[in-house]
Amino acid sequence: MTVRRLATIALALGVGLAQASRSWADPAAQAAAAAAAPPPVYPLKVGPDRRHLVDQAGKPFMMLGDSPHSMIAMMSLTEAELYLANRQRHGINTLWVELLCNSATACRPDGSTFDGIPPLLAPGDLLTPNAAYFDRAEAILTLAAAHGMTVLLDVAETDGWLETFRANGKRRCFRFGRYLGQRFRSVPNIIWMYGNDFQSWTDPRDDRLIRALAKGIRSVDRVHLNTTELNWFSSASLDDPSWAPLIQLDGVFTYFPTYAKLLAEYNRKNFRPVFLEEASYEFEHIKGTSPGSPGNLRRQEYWTMLSGATGQVYGDRDTWRLLPGWQTRLDSPGIIQLDHMRALFLARRWYELVPDQTHAVLTAGFGVAAPPGTGSVATDTYATAAATPDGSLMIAYLPTPRRVTIDMARFSGRVTARWYDPTNGTYAAIGGSPFANAGNQEFLPPGRNQDGDGDWVLVLETRPPA
């Protein structure tokens, strides 16, 4: 890399030339450079490859989300500022928030805010929206934008509000959607979202209600992106073909090994950019799923980013429910390790990575893949890998120790090889690196990572991160 090119990158990222020079070997410098990047130019849109989101300037957007479901109704602006500042420091750029919230998503049973503002002037009547409530919502959205965050604004929270939608019927749902579209279409940092644990989407009567709401929004707002969340334990937006004309972003909801459902969506003929919408949350253990331990969260995250996703949403029991004392528990192991994942990928051309589904690069040691909707996050050992078509980069995630074989002829030049510890964001050099781009080369992880677990990330590249 020339000094002139390095200086240009440093200037664009707002970092000094000395910092940019050492970033090839210094993960802290890579993370600092990524954090210094300017916020996206809203609203987001689908990129030219139809695989990823980009901002209005065409810059790839790697969604890194959190799930403060009850934020609009249950946080004061002061609390929201505290939370947003913390999440911004950890690289979070997206929030999943319910516009209408009741006890199903940790709000007051009547849906009013913590200080008593109801969303509807007449309880249960969607055609009596309370301007004061939606002004409060916009204040939260504006604060999120000031911290560089997109909001997945869930306007049809079906776990707690489906009975209200049923009581109002299709036409009134459409009119309510039209009101919301007009009310928020000038708010730049939103993605419209529909559903939440939408277990009854296969019932045409329920599905029509929520689609009517979406059609109402889209009748006045054709700018913002749209997505849905369907049912647990495993689903994706496009599992319901009736939503295909309405959504531009495909959300995966799975408590099983995340790569399986994400790759199934990636391989659809009518694919959209796909993201991990929901999986196990930190500090939670839902019956029939794997607990949200740091190790399981890492598996979900790295499997996701190596399976063609444009990003993912993390969740934490304390912050989605706003349990007492949540303000003191924001810097959890899960959010810190999610930040390490972000630093690794954002320092590189992550949006050019193509999943190595045929094992053309990682040719041995990858294990056995689970079909969608099967297996356990805690016990699955499948190694996902992805590489850029130009042969300059490959990243592989190994959930457990094993020897893997790489076809080095797939690379465009001599290969620098390192292990990345996903628990602390540091690199370990590999003896013999750089390697020739010829023949096969075996790699074996260097023992236990800092947390005492066996998962590592293998990073092979022919040039420094951009």
Please write the tens of the pLDDT for every residue from 59-111.
Answer: 999 999 999 999 999 999 999 999 999 999 999 999 999 999 999 999 999 99
Please write the tens of the pLDDT for every residue from 285-296.
Answer: 999 999 999 999
Percent of the chain with pLDDT strictly greater than 90: 91
Q: Looking at residue 281, what is its pLDDT?
A: 98
In a domain, 454, yes or no: yes
CATH number of the domain to which 409 belongs: 2.60.40
Please write the tens of the pLDDT for every residue from 212-233.
Answer: 999 999 999 999 999 999 999 9
> What is the phi/psi pair of residue 433, to 5°?
-75, 140
Pair 126, 258 in one domain: yes
Rg, the chain, Cα only: 22
Pair 343, 312 in one domain: yes
Pair 167, 56 in one domain: yes
Q: Point out the domain boundary residue: 292, 322, 351.
A: 351
- Give the type of residue at 293: S
Pair 331, 360 in one domain: no
Pair 363, 279 in one domain: no
What is the domain count for the chain? Answer: 3
Pair 110, 190 in one domain: yes
Q: How far apart are CA 101 and CA 71, in angstroms?
A: 9
Q: Which domain holds residue 363?
A: 354-461
Mean pLDDT, to the nearest integer, of 444-466? 94
Cα–Cα distances (Å) from 143 to 63, 94, 147, in that order, read 18, 13, 7
Pair 256, 211 in one domain: yes
Are 56 and 93 in contact, with CB atoms under 8 Å apart? no
In a domain, 466, yes or no: no
CATH number of the domain to which 291 belongs: 3.20.20.80
Q: Looking at residue 463, what is its pLDDT?
A: 85
In a domain, 176, yes or no: yes
pLDDT of 22 higher than 90: no
pLDDT of 306 higher than 60: yes
3-state SS, residue 239: helix
Q: How far apart are CA 257 and CA 370, in angstroms?
A: 7
pLDDT band at 33 (very low <50, low <70, confident <90, very high): low
Pair 337, 416 in one domain: no
Q: How far apart are CA 141 and CA 307, in angstroms?
A: 30
Percent of the chain with pLDDT strictly greater than 70: 92
pLDDT of 268 higher than 80: yes
Partners of residue 97 on adjacent β-strands:
153
Handedness of CA 181, 187, 192, 197 (dihedral sign): negative
pLDDT band at 464 (very low <50, low <70, confident <90, very high): confident
Q: Looking at residue 9, what is its pLDDT?
A: 28
Q: Point out the domain boundary residue: 331, 351, 371.
A: 351
Q: Point out the domain boundary residue: 321, 351, 381.
A: 351
Pair 314, 334 in one domain: yes
Q: Looking at residue 465, what is its pLDDT?
A: 77
In a domain, 262, yes or no: yes
